[in-house]
């Protein structure tokens, strides 16, 4: 049997998703400026971290009335929060056969699913290009990683269910679909979802994991179609990090069919204990008062597309999520150069082959940051000769 080290090395050699060398995509996008930076602290358009305040102002925070929370909360999450999530996000999914389990953000939900269901040698099928932790979670589980491609055209990247189906084999254990998709913003339509459901019927061993963290951040798309309830082998992960800008409180969830939910419970009771009481209380209040995030970001995207148009820079308008992709000559070089000019963005090659040659810029920022950041970005790309 190969050692862990060998398996991990073999996987990263085989993988079409490049694990960046000394400078990772996230380090480049983190906004930590190099020593003695000439432009001061770079404007951060890198990480997908919304900056709006969900409770608008310090006074509102102070009046939330969160008290008496210093005790262990239920391992699967507050009943009230679980019911509210079910009601709000999955009105058409039966509460008799599905359950919501509260996690430490979506990333923890993904981790628990891998721990509960993926064993060494299983295959995990993910998109090239995609959220880098999927690759790492597959490595941790000593699974073998396979990828499916998105279809690219002048209007952007789109899901190609044929390519997903072609990637399924009798050894596939987990298929991850992330829509709206990071970094491309691709969404799924009804026909594609029907095709996916039919494909599942032919592969009885496959669990479909639907990462829907951008479900409420819609730009070109008019609605989000959840995969929750699609099949008794479909698990949805989501969180309040993007929709309610509560990323620091680390509250997410898994929507699971009961049979799969039961297999996850031991991981909640033995590996998490319970998600932070304060985080859950805050999420409960934010969810009760939420009016949705989409309109906010539609306005932001108009602002930044106006700036890019003025500079003559072309970009892809996303269907969902809060990232714009811009084609450059060399994405790593462009990111390093832009950072020297005082703006951080993320290289597309950090997400996979398909977005090599693109940079990803986040528009979930306040207007002032967007105007300063995207103007600097556009002028910088021209100066660097990257567009």
Residues in contact with ligand PLP by the rule CB under 6 A: 48, 105-107, 131, 178, 182, 211, 213, 239, 241, 247, 252
Cβ-based nearer residue to ligand PLP, 226 or 239 = 239
Cβ-based nearer residue to ligand PLP, 245 or 313 = 245
CB of 249 to ligand PLP, least distance (A): 10
CB of 131 to ligand PLP, least distance (A): 4
Cβ-based nearer residue to ligand PLP, 279 or 337 = 279
CB of 178 to ligand PLP, least distance (A): 5
CB of 375 to ligand PLP, least distance (A): 25
Cβ-based nearer residue to ligand PLP, 239 or 355 = 239
d(CA 226, CA 334): 36
Cβ-based nearer residue to ligand PLP, 90 or 131 = 131
CB of 170 to ligand PLP, least distance (A): 27
CB of 182 to ligand PLP, least distance (A): 4
CB of 154 to ligand PLP, least distance (A): 24
Cβ-based nearer residue to ligand PLP, 252 or 279 = 252
């Amino acid at each position: 049997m190969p050692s862990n080290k060998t398996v991990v090395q073999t996987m990263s050699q085989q993988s079409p998703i490049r694990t960046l060398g000394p400078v990772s995509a996230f380090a480049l996008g983190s906004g930590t400026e190099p020593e003695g930076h000439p432009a001061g602290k770079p404007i951060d358009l890198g990480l997908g971290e919304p900056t709006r305040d969900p409770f608008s102002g310090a006074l509102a925070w102070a009046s939330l009335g969160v008290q008496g929370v210093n005790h262990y909360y239920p391992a699967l999450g507050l009943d009230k929060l679980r019911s509210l999530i079910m009601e709000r996000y999955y009105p058409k999914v039966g509460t008799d056969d599905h359950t919501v389990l509260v996690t430490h953000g979506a990333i923890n939900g993904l981790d628990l699913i891998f721990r509960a269901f993926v064993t060494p040698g299983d295959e995990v099928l993910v998109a090239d290009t995609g959220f880098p932790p999927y690759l790492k979670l597959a490595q941790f589980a000593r699974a073998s990683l396979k990828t499916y491609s998105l279809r690219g055209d002048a209007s952007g990247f789109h899901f190609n269910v044929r390519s997903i189906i072609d990637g399924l084999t009798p050894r596939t254990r987990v298929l991850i679909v992330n829509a709206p998709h990071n970094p491309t913003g691709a969404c799924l339509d009804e026909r594609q979802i029907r095709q996916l459901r039919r494909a599942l019927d032919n592969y009885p061993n496959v669990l479909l994991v639907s990462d829907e963290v951008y479900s409420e951040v819609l730009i070109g798309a008019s609605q989000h179609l959840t995969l929750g309830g699609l099949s008794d082998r479909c698990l949805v992960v989501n969180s309040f990090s993007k929709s309610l800008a509560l990323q620091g409180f680390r509250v997410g969830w898994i929507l699971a069919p009961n049979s799969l939910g039961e297999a996850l419970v031991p991981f909640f009771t033995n590996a998490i204990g319970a998600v932070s009481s304060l985080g859950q209380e805050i999420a409960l209040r934010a969810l009760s008062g939420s009016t949705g995030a989409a309109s906010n970001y539609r306005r932001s995207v108009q602002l930044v597309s106006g700036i890019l148009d003025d500079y003559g820079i072309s970009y892809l308008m996303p269907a969902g999520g809060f990232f714009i992709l811009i084609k450059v000559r060399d994405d790593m070089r462009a990111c390093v150069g832009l950072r020297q000019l005082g703006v951080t963005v993320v290289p597309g090659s950090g997400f996979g082959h398909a977005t090599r040659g693109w940079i990803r810029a986040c528009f979930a920022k306040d207007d002032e940051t967007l105007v300063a950041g995207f103007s600097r970005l556009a002028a910088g790309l021209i100066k660097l000769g990257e567009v």
